[in-house]
């Protein structure tokens, strides 16, 4: 199965390669969907196909919290800590004494 995934992913990279760096985020999302995370090997393949330095590829992976460079658990719990989420949660909870 893994070899089939790699073959399919290589085909995908071949299709999007002419579009260059603009396809970086979609390629990273696809790699994560297919493999569960983005390994350095796959990040290198993406960078080579899109003519983008590995440092830039890794920078994008590190910037977006929904991208993972290591395997994760099945369930991921995200908590919004932005001011708008905090205000909404506060009012949703209401005043309790």
E strand or H helix at 33: helix 24-35
Mean pLDDT score across all residues of the chain:
86
Residue 8 belongs to domain with CATH number: 1.10.10.1590
* CB neighbour list of residue 64: distance below 8 Å, 6 or more residues apart: 25
Confidence of residue 96 (pLDDT cuts 50, 70, 90): very low
Give the Cα separation of 22 and 40 in Å (integer): 20
Quickly count: other Cβ atoms within 10 Å of residue 85's Cβ: 11
Which domain range does residue 9 map to?
2-93
Q: Is pLDDT at 52 greater than 80 in this prediction?
A: yes
Whether residue 43 contacts residue 58, with contact meaning beta carbons closer than 8 Å, is answered with yes
Number of structural domains found in the chain:
1
């Amino acid at each position: 199965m893994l070899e089939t995934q790699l073959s399919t992913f290589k085909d995908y990279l071949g299709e999007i390669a002419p579009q260059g760096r603009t396809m970086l985020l979609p390629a990273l999302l696809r790699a994560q969907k297919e493999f569960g995370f983005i390994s350095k090997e796959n990040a290198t393949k993406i960078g080579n196909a899109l003519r983008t330095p590995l440092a830039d590829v890794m920078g994008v992976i590190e910037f977006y919290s929904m991208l993972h460079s290591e395997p994760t658990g099945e369930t991921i719990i995200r908590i919004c800590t932005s001011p708008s989420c905090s205000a909404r949660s506060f009012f949703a909870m209401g005043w309790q004494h």
